A = this chain, B = another copy of it.
Amino acid sequence: MSERKQFRDLAAPAEAHDAIASLDLDPGTESLPLDAAAGRVLTERVDATLDVPGFDRSALDGYALHARETFGATETDPATFDVVGIVEAGERPTVDLDPGEAVEIATGAVMPPDADAMVAVERTDRIGSEGAADDETSADGGGAASDAGGERVAVRTSVTPGENVMPAGADIAAGERALGPGTRLTAREIGLLAALGVEEVPVRAKPRVGIVSTGDELVRVGEDLDSEAGQIYDVNSNATAAAVREAGGEPVVYPHAGDDYDELERVLREAAAECDLVCSSGSTSASAVDVIYEVIEEQGDLLLHGVAIKPGKPMLVGQLEGSAYVGLPGYPVSALSIFRTFVASAIREAAGVPEPATATVRGRMAVEERAEEGRHRLVPVGLVENGAGETLVYPVDKGSGATTSLVEADGIVEMPAEVAYLDAGEAVTVDLFSPDVRPPTLLGVGEDDPLLSRLLDRIDRPRYLSVGSRAARRWLRDGVPDVVAVTGDTDELDADTTEIGGWTRGWGLVVPPDNPDDVAGLADLVDRDLAFVNRPTASGLRTSLGNALADLADERDADRRDLVDAIDGFDFTLEAHESPARRVVAGGADVGLGLRATAEKLDLGFVPIGEETVRVLAASDRMEKSGVAALDSVLGDLDALCADLPGFRDHRNR
């Protein structure tokens, strides 16, 4: 590993597009039964092979007759006919019409051979042959055909030949072009093909995309994970498979191949033989990338190794066994970004399916984004609608290794190397990670808090980023979030906000069950040899702890810093409010900073120290947004939500 293969001649992004476009992903044609063909694209023209309708068809309920015999009939001077039979839909007419005769006929039924027009039942009156006007004759009809003889009908209008009759082939005639090649089959085309009696249609096959994951550290979902040995779950196989489906392809996930050359070669050859395209969903480990590079270079045809783009530099493009090959980078957001930018469109084109209009959105940058080292960048971004309904776009930068960026970013903005910065307010196009991605109804940032999680569960599609109180204030100043949930003083906030709710939460020291070390308070942390786990400086709890330590220092007339230095693990911080408590459960610490609610949830002991208030503030110009209104509404229910969260209460109920 020590000296890695270098990406000495990085290709320009345009070259990567060209290289992929040069590959043959054509999945060919397959014949599908009609009920499986929806969403597919015809490869050949389909002509009608029969007339629709297949017969001269009555367009209404009424009477079939000779048009010329109605000549001169009016409302006041009807023409009368002997009713000599009845034809229901789906019946072969058996009567012959002589002059002065009519046949009762149902909508959709076959016109008797001699009749050349029909009169709607609404323009007629039935006259019983026994003289009784039978206005209430039963409707349970067809069997009575032979009984109709002897009755008469008065026709109160004249009709022309062909009137109310749809001639055979009038809808579509045998030999006519019904659907052309390239037609996408939606419900309506399926309907037309059914009308034509088409059982199977030739359609573009779905491009088969083989997904090969590599890297010794990866474990497939469903298998046991050994974290201490550095194992992680294989994210890219699942995410890429879903993305392939969204692009109109058929994913085939192959067994995990590790970093072994022979094993990788075997799996890649198998995938290449069975698929139109193979994507290796790369490991983050360098050795795995090296091995797969060697396999393609030695066994196939390597077109491109490394692209001048961030993220995505280690991208590979080539061919193996006549199949196209693309090597995606290892980090999930990088892999999905490269897939979205370079691969999805190639799959769509091979599938014959255009990119949906919803795959991109336009928006304006909420904050400035500067270039990095003049490199072509795919910047992961989130979307939020402002009060005016405009889409704001903000960069999401958690480091490319963060899996949560997958759901915190909605897509990417391409930033070419020659662009120095994207200005706040600048219009940009966002390539969404999936066409079904939509902006959240609510964007909140701030404290990680269990009550907040419950509030969010009651809102349709909110997004909440636990950036802590300090960062939340900065986000608010930049005009990005709809709401913030922060501790501490909110009077000096540099934004026009409206407080829509708040609560106090009891915090303290989380200890093992029954408090085996008899921890009584902060002084024990300072004075005794206890292993402590802290929260990061951005969190509200850390600030409260700092204040409590300052009080203790005042009490002892000591320097706060000396107290801090005396605490074993004060600088050992964990993300997420439950993490220190969980570390205590795992035996990794004696005392953790946390909430009473967390201690009770995890059946741990708890030493109370204080209470702090979390306030929820909405940007005043976003109060009308549905998500903000929904949060405002569920905050009205705060008492109920606090009830089973020990140590929580509505801060207005002091």
Q: Which of A336-362 contact B (CB under 8 A)?
A: 336, 354, 356-358
Q: Nearest Cβ in chain B — how far from A459, in angstroms?
A: 8
| A553 interface contact, C-beta 8 A | no
Assembled-state Cα–Cα distance A344/B533 (Å): 54
Q: Is the CB of B59 within 8 A of A399?
A: yes
Task: Write out, one digit per residue, whether chain A residues 216-256 have a CB within 8 A of any chain B CB (1) or not (0).
Answer: 11100110011111111111111111110110000001000
Q: Nearest Cβ in chain B — how far from A477, in angstroms?
A: 25
Q: Is the CB of B174 within 8 A of A578?
A: yes
Q: Is the CB of B242 within 8 A of A407?
A: no
* Contact residue among B55, B188, B576 (Cβ-Cβ distance under 8 Å from A407): B188
* Contact residue among B192, B434, B459 (Cβ-Cβ distance under 8 Å from A187): B434
Q: Which residues of B contact A285 (CB under 8 A)?
A: 88-90, 106-109
Residue of A55, A222, A287 with highest tally of chain B CB at under 10 A: A287
Q: Is the CB of B235 within 8 A of A5?
A: no
| A370 interface contact, C-beta 8 A | no
Q: Given A221-B197, A286-B106, do A90 and B230 touch, yes or no (CB 8 Å)?
A: yes
Q: Is the CB of A433 within 8 A of B172?
A: no
| A61 interface contact, C-beta 8 A | yes
Binds B, one of A46-54, A418-426, A524-532: A46-54
| A438 interface contact, C-beta 8 A | yes
Q: Is the CB of A242 within 8 A of B173?
A: no
Q: Which residues of B contact A182 (CB under 8 A)?
A: 460-461
| A271 interface contact, C-beta 8 A | no
Task: Write out, one digit per residue, whether chain A residues 400-414 have a CB within 8 A of any chain B CB (1) or not (0).
Answer: 011110110100000
Q: Which of A80-125 contact B (CB under 8 A)?
A: 86-92, 104, 106-110, 121
- Closest chain B residue to A463, Cβ basis: B180
Q: Which residues of B contact A139 (CB under 8 A)?
A: 1-5, 287, 290
Q: Is the CB of A141 within 8 A of B104?
A: no
Q: Is the CB of A173 within 8 A of B575?
A: yes
Assembled-state Cα–Cα distance A141/B291 (Å): 11
| A13 interface contact, C-beta 8 A | no
Q: Which of A178-195 contact B (CB under 8 A)?
A: 178-195
Binds B, one of A14-22, A32-40, A371-379: A32-40
Q: Is the CB of B137 within 8 A of A233?
A: no
Q: Given A197-B221, A287-B139, do A575 and B169 touch, yes or no (CB 8 Å)?
A: yes
Known: A180-B461, A190-B241. 4 other contacts (CB 8 A): A54-B232, A90-B215, A108-B330, A187-B240
